[in-house]
Amino acid sequence: MEPSDKREDTEEVLPPPPPPPPPPSVTPPDRVGVPVNPEHTSESVKKAMMPKRVPVSRRGFGSRGQKIQLLTNHFKVGISNAGGHFFHYSVALSYEDGHPVEMKGVGRKIMDKVLETYDTELSVKDFAYDGEKSLFTVGALPHNKLEFTVVLDSVSSNRSNVVSRNAENGSHDGNESPDRADRKRLRRASQSKAFKVEISFAAKIPMQAIASALRGQESENSQEALRVLDIILRQHAAKQGCLLVRQSFFHDNPRNFTDLGGGVLGCRGFHSSFRATQGGLSLNVDGSTTTIIQPGPLVDFLIANQDARDPFQLDWSKAKRTLKNLRIKVKPSNQEYRIVGLSENLCKEQLFALKNKGNDDPEGIKVTVYDYFVNHRNIGLHYSGDLPCINVGKPKRPTFLPIELCFLVPLQRYTKALTVHQRTTLVERSRQKPHEKMMILTDVMKTNNYEADPLLRSCGISISTQFTQVEGRVLPAPRLKAGNGEELIARNGRWNFNNKRLAEPSKIKNWAAVNFSARCDTRGLCRDLARVGETKGIFIDPPIDIFEENPQFRRAPPMVRVEKMFEQMKPQLPDGPPHFIVCLLPDRKNSDIYGPWKRKCLAEFGIFNQCLAPGRVNDQYLMNVLLKINAKLGGLNTLLAIEPSRNIPLVSKVPTIIFGMDVSHGSPGQSDIPSVAAVVSSRCWPLISRYRASVRTQSPKVEMIDSLFKPVSDKDLGIIRELLLEFYVSSGQTKPTQIIIFRIIWSINKFSETALWHDSKPLVWMNGNVGKFLQDTGCLKGRHDNQLEIKNMAEYKGNKTLKIDGDGVSESQFNQVLNIELDQIIEACKFLDEKWNPKFTIIIAQKNHHTKFFQAGSQDNVPPGTVIDSKVCHPTHYDFYMCAHAGMIGTTRPTHYHVLLDEIGFSADDMQELIHSLSYVYQRSTNAISIVAPVRYAHLAATQVSQFIKFDDSSETSSSHGSLTSVGGPPVPELPKLHDKVCSSMFFC
């Protein structure tokens, strides 16, 4: 039998290691050349390779607002060994026969054994190992190249309780006399216990670079040094048996688990990473949550996952997809394996050739898996005989196990998309009030015991256990206007329309209602909607008709139900489709009718529509619905008092358009679903409360928007041209002379880049878009995990035409916006008017970070309008945190704003007040939101329009962030064009 792949209990999502400096003869120290054929290079990618813009530096600090003393989850770090050096070594692991080690997780076991066995040769020097190809020490090892051999008894497979068969004629158990080919396999299995380890010097990193970064003198060395510190944290957690997910760590402690149903657990852990801030080096520690498989009997997980009554009701084709690559332990041997599939036959029918020493028949005796375990191994099986076997073997050499002997090992991530119930439960159980979060983080700092880590000690690193004190400012809420010019007063980030009308109410005349739900009084709802609307200035005529779904179609597919409803409506509407439809859905959340219905209305007929899934209907519920309807039909619910009076600094004086940009990706577990890019733009200047959207599909998991400028023949079919023309028409034939761009990036992860390798040595890190370019142009010979292997080193060293920026991934994402997306927008402007040179301001809005703020001595969240632009912000970059909204549930998550470019010239106060005001123009609610409205609208538009196309969701592999789109892959399906009647509306509200 072949040795089975075995992995340690800690499943890792590994970051690439920091890159060593390139050879000085190749390129300047901050650039690495890559051989490419310029003929195959798009202009946008060329510009990405040679960034010409960099993020602006901070111009000053804000001063407006009431000062407030806060605490933050950054813990001050001291360094007493700033004169020392990190030494970076490349690690190559292989079996004795030269085959590289590809088993994930075993690398840490091997390197731990190296340190244990060869402590003298290593001068008893502790090291930080990233789990794959990089190792770091404080001070140098005795030699630049070291080779070791270690033996791990626990890595080889114990085959006494498993059976396998050859794909053609069966195989054997461990007691037979193998033939020649089998002897070769067995020798390799035996040799797989021994490993060769090569450690080669790669780079020297001064710790002084960290101090330089704190002074604003960032360099490649400073980023590498911080990466090394983060890798030390990962190793610290790995030694405690944690599941590692980038810089988040999860212990195998049932107290941290929450049952989400379906055999899935929510697992609470913590995030920790080092940050260079204005206040010095700090350790950012925060709570973190992931989803894991319920450990225990494999069959119990399957029953829960499929909500089956017993194992005989399971869908085994679905089970096969769910189980692939999960790790199990087998009773009674307790040996660990990875699942590769299922047997084609049931356990009582699955045959293999059993060979024994006393049997001269080279073919062996054909026995079933069930018979082997029951009669030959004397292991009782109660129900496995009538179920498929678990396959843990090789593609050409299956190895089968009865399912009831298999047990899932702990801490295995669940990477499939969660159900609505699971997602809701996870969010609800993960919430923690501010004082609860502070208590948990205080406990994390105590239990982690970082001061005992030998590597941190040798670095001279000391970490405070006290929250850092920072000063914030609370900006006053902007004044709002309702109908008849009446003023709305926002208190604690909220307001209401009691005894007030909407600012610009619409009229609803030609409309109808359809009901896909049997549990709602449709006529009563329509009457109540008209009654509440009248009090707010929205006059609603009686519906021209109400359509109830024919009960015989309620179990039909979603597309059929929608088509049948329109067929039912057509004879009753001789004058054509109505202007507006209220649609009652059968499910409270994520109804499968939603996508087909929206597509039919918005793309095919141009019908404004509002979907409802009413549970308890009251006046407040109907008021919230009317806010959405009014915005969709062209009305305004509220607007800033400074909009009509033209008192917005710099924005009201000259024509200014505001863009909000977002990219929506498929759910986890759906790695081949196209991403959807959306851009919304303001219209009707000088207002900044009206918007419209343009949406396109693009390659899966690609964050950069590639359709902003799209020249085809003598036309531009891109997003920006469409939005600029709309602004021109709606703003009195005026072109914008200023363009403000808000670009949301949900997370900035410094470990999500792609590594470029040659001969097992890292050369440079790049983002997925650049990696795709290199693969498409033929520069690379292969890809695996986060690594790209370069084809020809001689060509690589000789070519200096194109450069790849070697900065961290956050800067890489910033460069995409500054040097690819912005260039597309400029080209779109030039395409309309060659002499047009608008000024640009670009702000990144980041949500998924780990910085939180707390009020000292209070259990409440920070007040809405809180802004922090000192102490925990970047030493030199122009960034700040803002909590514009009132955190009512859990702990407030601030938005982290990064100003990349500001040609318009906002002061710090004016910039912060503009962003604060844009959190109050969201037309769907009566409260300030946590992020500026334009990017929230872009997210809504991308999410809604992505439902138009029924994407293939059969892929159940885990999503790979930053993965490359395969060359020659299937074309990205285009979205249907929105009907002219609705394309300029706020249909996404």
Three-state DSSP class for residue 75: strand
> Do the beta carbons of residue 12 and residue 105 sit within 8 Å?
yes
pLDDT, tens digit, 9 for 90 and up, residues 961-974: 333 333 345 678 88
CA-nearest of 376, 330, 381 to 356 is 376
CA distance 80 to 289: 34
Residues of the chain with pLDDT under 50: 1-41, 44, 48, 156-192, 748-809, 951-968
d(CA 211, CA 520): 65
Residue entry with tokens 């885990």: 958
Alpha-carbon distance of 897 to 880, in angstroms, equals 5
Residue with tokens 């880049």: 753
End-to-end CA distance of the chain: 60
pLDDT of residue 211: 81
Contact 674, 972 (CB under 8 A): yes
**What's the confidence (pLDDT) of residue 170?**
36
Of 128, 131, 96, 103, the residue nearest 115 (C-alpha): 128
- What does the pLDDT read at residue 51? 53
Report DSSP state, residue 841. Answer: E
What DSSP letter does each residue of 553-614 carry, written as one string?
Answer: GTTS-HHHHHHHHHHHHGGG-TT-S-SEEEEE-SSSSS-TTHHHHHHIIIIII--EEEEE--
Question: Which structure tokens are listed for 313?
Answer: 């009701």
Q: Count other C-beta atoms under 10 Å from residue 826's C-beta.
A: 18
CA dist 90 to 221, 238, 759, Å? 17, 20, 10
d(CA 17, CA 131): 10
In this structure, what DSSP letter does residue 180 have? Answer: H
CA dihedral 100, 102, 106, 109 (to 10 degrees): 20
Question: What is the predicted pLDDT for the residue at 799?
Answer: 32
CA nearest neighbour of 855 among 472, 401, 414:
472
Please report the pLDDT score of residue 627 as a whole number: 97
pLDDT of residue 669: 61
Assigned token pair, 332: 């009674």
Cα–Cα dist 133/762, whole Å = 9
Q: What tokens appear for 35 in the block?
A: 């051989």
> Is pTM beyond 0.85 here?
no
Quote the tokens at residue 303.
């029953």
Rounded Cα distance between 89 and 201, Å, is 4
Maximum pairwise Cα distance, the chain: 100
Residues 497, 482: Cα–Cα separation, whole Å:
8
What pLDDT does 975 receive?
A: 87
- The confidence score (pLDDT) of residue 213 equals 76
Token code pair at residue 230: 């983060």
Residue 608: closest CA among 939, 981, 944, 976 = 981
